[in-house]
Amino acid sequence: SAVISQKPSRDICQRGTSLTIQCQVDSQVTMMFWYRQQPGQSLTLIATANQGSEATYESGFVIDKFPISRPNLTFSTLTVSNMSPEDSSIYLCSVARGHPNYGYTFGSGTRLTVV
């Protein structure tokens, strides 16, 4: 299965600023997924990123707030823009493990604190 390198692992940011999170996969994958895990909560899908097309956002998430890039089949970035304390969460990227039923591999996550 794929190995994902996600960075930064954590950051503390000032409100009003932006942070870009990177995910590098060791193999080519069609779709990459970005999740948010708010403190004490489950994972919520932010968007699905396909190479060569705009990301597909879930209800409650918009491109202006969470712009995503997918320049090639092994890399993606998620930017958290104009941050507020409510954006303090763990952000994770994920890819399918190959076969449709084999589950997903997750990056180690980015723990973001907005002050």
Residues contacting residue 95 through CB under 8 Å, at least 6 positions apart: 2, 4, 25, 29, 31, 32, 33, 104, 105
Q: Which stretch binds another protein (CB under 8 A): 12-20, 66-74, 77-85, 92-100?
A: 92-100
Q: Contact, 28 vs 47, CB < 8 A?
A: no
For residues 16 and 82, is the Cβ–Cβ distance under 8 A?
yes
State which of positions 50-89 bind another protein (CB under 8 A). Answer: none
Residue 92 lies near another protein (rule: CB under 8 A): yes
Kindly state whether residue 97 participates in binding another protein, applying the rule CB under 8 A: yes
Binders of another protein: how many residues, by CB under 8 A? 20
**Interaction site with another protein (CB under 8 A):** 6, 33, 41-43, 45, 48, 92, 94, 97, 100-109
